[in-house]
Amino acid sequence: MRLNELNVHERRLWDAYPQGGPVDTRDARDTPAAPDPVVRAGVITALLLGAHTEHGPGDHPALRLTGARITGRLDLAFTDVVAPVCLTDCRFDEPPQLRGARTRELILRDCALPGLVADTAQIDGRLAVSRCRVTGPLVLTRTVIHGDLDLCDTAVRHPEGEAITAINAQVGGNILGTDLAVEGTFRLSGASVDGEFDLEGASLRAPGRDALDAYHVRVTEDFTCHPRFSAEGRIILSGATVGAAIGFCGARLSNPGDIALEAVDVTVARNFDLGLGLAVDGGVKLDGTRVGTELSFRDAELTHPDGTALSLRAIQARDTDLRTGRPVDGAVDARKAHLGTLHDAQDTWPADLRLTDTTYDTLASPLPAAERVRWIRRSPGGYHPQPYEQLAAAYRRMGHEDEARTVLLAKQRHRRAGLPAPTRLWGHVQDVSVGYGYRPLRAGLWLLALLACGALYFALHTPAPLDPGKAPPFNAVFYTLDLLVPIVTFGQEPAFAPRGAGQWLSYALIASGWVLATTVTAGASRALSRQ
């Protein structure tokens, strides 16, 4: 490149390059509406690849250009750029090409670009594309960035495909996406971030498609999407590992009729916060996720009326807060989940709550057992014993033995509803007599009532002795006890033979005694085995 071929702005840039001096071409405009001064991409390429050889001792070459229109293709593919580059308020005619390049630092601020191709590039410092307007794809696949990736306040528009592609990218600092606006898919599956991933206030739009695909990403610190974050389309975090917390507080997620947030098999060291104003139109699927401390849906609003609004199958958390802002519109599936300490509110219980094989250590709001039984019965699909046993165990750990027995009695009644008619009849007898053994006081009351009836009848209608010479003196109370208690005998029942109505009464007392003995024995067995 010959110096006499350079225009005035290119010559200023050429002269300022060795010392890294800034060149602002806006001061050459006659009016604010005047066309941007032109700098050819070839001149920039020549400078960055060593065309300027007049470097003195102590020089720190850098390319700092403001306000220019850059014509032609800035092609630095597979090159080694030794100087930092800072372009501000520049307009590019073609997407810059940095595929496979190695650069020290690249800063694009307030620029307009038809795209940027920097896949497999290595950037030793920071890559900033901030406050820019990008009308084509931003390609960062397998790019290695040793500093931050700064996308703050940038708008990337490529609605028909992938607007940002950073598959398997490696970022040694933070990904900063505050107020980032993306039309099209933001894909960074397999990427690793050795800092935080901040999308506070970002807007991602890919209706009916993946708005954010962060499958199997690794984030050393926080993954933050609150507040003011919004997304149209599916958010995918499945397989992600986050070293601190994940936050969607105050976010708006929309993917009607489908999954809005898919975070299956995620590992997060601290909190997974999906509350405090989160609104979701679509399903939230967190199956198999492991949360180090708290999983929270406090004050969230979840809407997926024709399907599962919240799937928590097989998750693990130390604390789980399900106190949503209003009842979840759709099913909540927590089968096989371990919820730790469970926080919930009766007025926001979902209508469809699936708790089969769900476990929890304690209930922050235990409530009376009768209310909690109604909570369990919100689960469709018929009788399942485990939710009752888990609830009874939780009451026992809190020292509420009476409430635990109430739950287990409700379990037997629910089980009875699905049995054949003869077995149901026997179940009703056990329930009425001693509450399946969980109400043993009833047996004593029944015995006293039957004893009083029998003793009164036989006191007025003394049965005839079988052998008048050998029969002991008749005692109506002990004769009735002989009939009622099948094991103990007082010598009265074999010595006397009632007739007529007395004979039928004796049969009824004997049968009642066997029923009471059987049910009391069953109840004692359950109590001893802690079923």
CA distance 455 to 384: 45
Give the pLDDT of residue 360: 92
State the pTM of this model: 0.80
Give the pLDDT of residue 531: 46
Q: How many CA atoms lie within 13 A of 196 on its CB side?
A: 14
Exposed (0-12), middle (13-18) or buried (19+): which is 246, by Cβ within 10 Å? buried
User: Scanning the structure block, which residue is given the tokens 């995918």?
Assistant: 236
Give the pLDDT of residue 466: 78
Give the pLDDT of residue 377: 86
Q: Can you say whether the dihedral through the CA atoms of 502, 504, 510, 514 is positive or negative?
A: negative
Give the pLDDT of residue 179: 96
Q: What is the 3-state secondary structure (H, E, C) of 272-321?
A: EECCCCCEEEEEEECCCCEEEEEEECCCCEEEEEEEEEEECCCCEEEEEE
CA distance 254 to 489: 76
CA distance 389 to 404: 9
**Residue numbers of the chain with a pLDDT score lower than 70:** 1, 28-34, 53-58, 417-419, 423-445, 516-531
User: Scanning the structure block, which residue is given the tokens 């940095």?
Assistant: 98
* Radius of gyration for the alpha carbons in the chain, expressed in angstroms and rounded: 39
**What are the tens digits of pLDDT across the range 184-238?**
999 999 999 999 999 999 999 999 999 999 999 999 999 999 788 999 999 999 9
CA distance 447 to 430: 14
Give the pLDDT of residue 182: 97
CA distance 472 to 495: 7
CA distance 151 to 128: 6
Alpha-carbon dihedral angle through residues 224, 228, 232, 237, given to the nearest 10 degrees: 10
Give the pLDDT of residue 367: 84
Enter the tokens of residue 187: 């894909």
Helix (H, G, I), strand (E, B) or coil at 199: coil
